[in-house]
Amino acid sequence: MPIDPDSNAPVMAPPGRPEPVRKPVRTFRLPSHRLKVSDVNVVDKPMLKKAIGGTIVGNTMEWYDVGVFGYLVTTMGPAFLPEADKSVQTLFLLGTFAATFIARPLGGVVFGWLGDKVGRQRVLAATLLLMAASTFAVGLLPGYAQIGVWAAVLLVVLKLVQGFSTGGEYAGATTFVSEYAPDKKRGFFASFLDMGSYLGFAVGAALVSALQLTLGQAAMEEWGWRIPFLLAGPLGAIAVYFRSKIEESPQFQATLDAQEAKVSSATEKDPSTNTGPIMLVKTYWRQIILAMILAAAANTVGYALTSYMPTYLTESKGYDPIHGTLLTIPVLVIMAACIPLTGRLSDRIGRRPVLWVGAGSTVVLSIPAFLLIGIGEVWSTLAGLALVAFPVTFYVANLASALPALFPTSSRYGGMGIAYNFSMAIFGGTTPFIVASLIQATGNDMMPAYYLMATSVIGGIAIYFLPESARRPLPGSMPSVASEAEARELVATQEENPLLDLDAMPFEGRPLAGAAH
């Protein structure tokens, strides 16, 4: 009904005349800011290569240690608990391996907070140095024959130090590469981190296998187990050198400059930029829970394949330690080569569809995989290991790009450090210990398959709620592209581009973005 603009009273239409039909007025809401070419980050390709190389060496180093320890579980027992039963030795070493992950949350909190305060590059150099030094020290440990039970105690202490340093490694590496990579290829470049991880695992496995073949089991138990750990010293020194040559990520540097500008102009600081652990958890608890569940689902399968499988093949399937190690190497190498392919696939079709393949194939393939391994033939064991590796390839290649995109730049390292490492402490690194205990408690060799299926069902629920981040700018950052031409095209088409949310971008004078899109 029409309204009189002077009195605000309804105006009645004359008798017998219908009220006029008013068409709805269409309104268009323009964004409060527009992108300029100068707002878009054009990736420096040589520096991107340095960043990827420098982060890969750290991840490779981390997983080299994980691989070496996992493949020596059935060998190191006599050096630390010679009077214990073989099964007790195995459980002790698997428990020590799990203790590494208990220390990871503290490292994630400390190094994550530092990484958001002082920068990614310096913190990543520190975590790598500490990790390499503690791994090297394991090779120098005196055994039970020299200092008794204190040998086992010191081993646990050094593994806790390793866990503390590792707590800042993966979270920082994924944050660093994600911030360096162009938006359209973030999945591809970030996936190289996990390719390096599994190559590091394969290198550790190959070295252990070569030593077992050349030295024999008796020499390995007496002194040969030390060699892989001692090699971590020179390898770590090389890795630290490469990492020290990397510059700070441009997106974090832009955020740091914006925060400093706000402080210098006496503007009230946006509470979302407070990266203290307590405030961070209060602000991003939904994203943290989501990241924890996804990391748990993916790494339960990953650690079952890498850290537990050699022990499973030796303890439950009757393989000798050498073959238990050798059989996993070709699977790891092939899987590592395929990881960048699934990372590139996620850039094309999205992170969520690729992660769905990882979760679904875990549920479908776990039982056939362990049934094939149970046949006991080399061909069937390799086929079973390949079925376990298939979902890992789709899972881990995308965590490195999907999880950092849950957090804004100002809190990304801290959020990743808390979410990823608490998840690893509760689920990932404890997988070998949990499944070994389940088999001992039930006598059922299929318990690992059921455990993997259960964690991936829960992971599927998290994928449903995961926001799609492929080809989109990271929260709290401006778009990142590969060339000037792409930057100009992005600016010219910004209004109709469904992958851009201009109102969420940290334009000058606007509070820094504080929530995931």
DSSP 355-420: HHHHHHHHHHHHHHHHHHHHH--HHHHHHHHHHHHHHHHHHHHHHHHHTGGGS-GGGHHHHHHHHH
Whether 3 is in a domain gets the answer: no
What is the CATH classification number for the domain harbouring 186? 1.20.1250.20
φ, ψ at 280 (rounded to 5°): -65, -45
Domain range spanning residue 439? 42-250+270-476
For range 450-477, the mean pLDDT: 94
Whether 235 is in a domain gets the answer: yes
pLDDT at residue 511 above 60? no
For range 242-257, the mean pLDDT: 77
For range 262-275, the mean pLDDT: 48
pLDDT at 469: 94
Reported as a pLDDT band with limits 50, 70 and 90, residue 515 is very low
pLDDT at residue 300 above 80? yes
Other CB atoms closer than 10 Å to residue 82's CB: what's the count?
A: 13
pLDDT at 431: 80
Whether 449 is in a domain gets the answer: yes
pLDDT at 276: 77
**SS3 state of residue 480:** strand
Whether 35 is in a domain gets the answer: no
pLDDT at 261: 61
Helix-strand-coil split of the chain, %, nearest 5: 75, 0, 25
Whether 501 is in a domain gets the answer: no
For range 452-477, the mean pLDDT: 94
CA 219 centroid distance within chain: 37
Indicate the pTM of the whole model.
0.81
Reported as a pLDDT band with limits 50, 70 and 90, residue 362 is very high
Q: How many structural domains does the chain have?
A: 1
Whether 162 is in a domain gets the answer: yes
Reported as a pLDDT band with limits 50, 70 and 90, residue 409 is confident
pLDDT at 385: 93
Across the chain, what does the average pLDDT equal? 84
Contacts of 470 (CB under 8 A, 6+ apart): 186, 187, 346, 347, 349, 350, 351, 401
Whether 259 is in a domain gets the answer: no
**Sign of the dihedral defined by the CA atoms of residues 234, 236, 240, 242, in that order:** positive
Q: Check if the beta carbon of residue 404 is closer than 8 Å to that of residue 174.
A: yes
Whether 224 is in a domain gets the answer: yes
pLDDT at residue 3 above 50? no
Rg (CA), the chain: 26
pLDDT at 275: 53
127 or 2, higher pLDDT: 127
For range 322-331, the mean pLDDT: 81
228 or 276, higher pLDDT: 228
pLDDT at residue 335 above 90? yes
Reported as a pLDDT band with limits 50, 70 and 90, residue 112 is very high
